[in-house]
Amino acid sequence: MKSLKLNKTTRRNYLTYLLVILAYVILQILGSTGSISSSLKGMLVPICAYIVMAISLNLTVGVLGELSLGHAGFMSMGAFTGVTAAIALQDAIPAAPLRMAIALAVGAAFAALTGFLIGIPVLRLNGDYLAIVTLAFGEIIKSIFNNLYVGVDKKGLHMSLLSDKTSLSEGGKLIIAGPMGIGGIQKISTFTAGFILVMITLIVVFHLVNSRAGRAIMAIRDNRIAAESVGVNITKYKMMAFVTSAALAGAAGALFAMNYSTIVANKFDFNTSILVLVFVVLGGLGNMLGSIVAAAALTILPEALRQFSDYRMLVYAIVLILVMLATNNPTLKSFFSRFKPGKSHGKEAA
């Protein structure tokens, strides 16, 4: 009977997989019978992208324990490089799903590289200083993509900064047009692709968290000095979590971008980073299922509040504040903890 006695974390992870698959199947069935509204249908891919964003940020904030305010920067990096790859390969690879997969991989690879380069300086800092530097990098990435011109012709890719100096030969095409972003994207993102990406993300994150490396990462979060003193290589494990998080965000960005016909750098600004952070905190730090639910619910919420028309963002803000106040209210907390046997109060007091 040993195989049936899974430990708590494993049970929880399988439950997460199961729920995601279930949600996908239900939505597919509902979609094929035509009983979901077209507005919800249009939101399925962005929801998947935001779920991946939330899970990947949760890896940085919840598991590694460092606040990142520039997560949208990686999304931007993934979106622009991924879409550029997709457009450049449009003739070479006619099959959309394959091109899509390559675009996601390219986006993830470039975001990972950016994450690595940013990680070298960022991970030397701690706490709020680390947060502000990630914010700064997010803004820098946004600024650069706002002024980047990339074109493709027979000779390959051409790039220039600030103004269009790509001087493409005959038959060439400008892909990224500075502040105008990328236009004329083929919308090859599908809900199925999004679902697969969410599953891959979950598998990657769960395997990382439950590995030796994951335990090292959490040890760093809980007590950096203690972890260091027992021989955990702080920089290596921090970097591992940070780069994984960046790569997943890059893939999410590519998925997100290919759901729209145009994409501009200003879409991935500080507010997007904050939006994803809100998903993570509301879902619970380190709780991947929570991130998924929060990302899906909060992406739908502004749509669901459409009946309040002008007041919807106001209602959203009020809901956000009230939820934070309620979940941190000591009276409510002790009330709920009564229903959770085995959880002592000592933990919260610490």
Partner 1 sequence: MTFLNFLISGISLGSIYAIIALGYTMVYGIAKMLNFAHGDVIMVGAYICFYAVSRFNLPPLVGVILAMIVCTVLGMVVERLAYKPLRQAPSLAVLITAIGVSYFLQNTALLLWSSNPKVFPSFFVSGSGGTGVELFGGQLKISYVTLFTIIICVIIMLALTWFTGKTKMGKAMRACSEDKGAAQLMGINVDATISMTFAIGSGLAAIAGVLLCSAYPTLVPTTGSMPGIKAFTAAVFGGIGSIPGAFLGGLLLGIIEIFAKAYISTQLSDAVVFAVLIIVLLVKPAGLLGKQIREKV
Which residues of this protein are in contact with partner 1, per CB under 8 A? 61, 67, 121, 124-126, 128-129, 131-133, 135-137, 139-140, 143-144, 146-147, 161-162, 225, 270, 274, 277-278, 281-282, 285, 310-311, 313-314, 316-318, 320-321, 324-325, 327-330
Q: What is the nearest approach in angstroms of partner 1 to the Cβ of residue 148?
A: 11
Q: What is the nearest approach in angstroms of partner 1 to the Cβ of residue 85?
A: 24
Which residue, 48 or 182, is less far from partner 1 as judged by CB? 182
Cα 211 to Cα 217: distance, rounded to the nearest angstrom: 10
Which residue, 29 or 226, is less far from partner 1 as judged by CB? 226
Which residue, 120 or 203, is less far from partner 1 as judged by CB? 120
Which residue, 133 or 209, is less far from partner 1 as judged by CB? 133
Q: What is the nearest approach in angstroms of partner 1 to the Cβ of residue 127?
A: 9
Which residue, 80 or 137, is less far from partner 1 as judged by CB? 137
Which residue, 139 or 153, is less far from partner 1 as judged by CB? 139
- Give me the helices (H) in 123-233, please: 127-146, 191-209, 212-222, 224-229
Q: What is the nearest approach in angstroms of partner 1 to the Cβ of residue 316?
A: 7
All residues at 6 or more sequence positions from 332 whose CB lies less than 8 Å from its CB, including other chains: 326
Helix 96-122 × helix 234-257 angle, to 10° = 140
Tell me the three state secondary structure of residue 151: strand
Q: What is the nearest approach in angstroms of partner 1 to the Cβ of residue 300?
A: 17
Which residue, 97 or 121, is less far from partner 1 as judged by CB? 121
Strands (E) across the chain are located at: 148-153, 156-161, 173-177
Which candidate, 254, 260, 291, places its Cα nearest to that of 275?
A: 291
Which residue, 17 or 316, is less far from partner 1 as judged by CB? 316
Which candidate, 69, 16, 71, 51, places its Cα nearest to that of 279?
A: 51
Question: What token pair was written down for 281?
Answer: 């905190």
All residues at 6 or more sequence positions from 263 whose CB lies less than 8 Å from its CB, including other chains: 79, 80, 83, 181, 182, 185, 257
Q: What is the nearest approach in angstroms of partner 1 to the Cβ of residue 225?
A: 6
Q: What is the nearest approach in angstroms of partner 1 to the Cβ of residue 284?
A: 11
- Do residues 234 and 221 touch, judged by C-beta distance below 8 A? no
Inter-residue long-range contacts of 334-341, CB under 8 Å, 24+ positions, other chains counted: none
Helix 330-337 × helix 312-327 angle, to 10° = 70
- Do residues 104 and 172 touch, judged by C-beta distance below 8 A? no
Q: What is the nearest approach in angstroms of partner 1 to the Cβ of residue 313?
A: 4
Which candidate, 116, 132, 66, places its Cα nearest to that of 236?
A: 116
Which residue, 98 or 318, is less far from partner 1 as judged by CB? 318
Q: What is the nearest approach in angstroms of partner 1 to the Cβ of residue 312?
A: 9
Residue type, 301: L
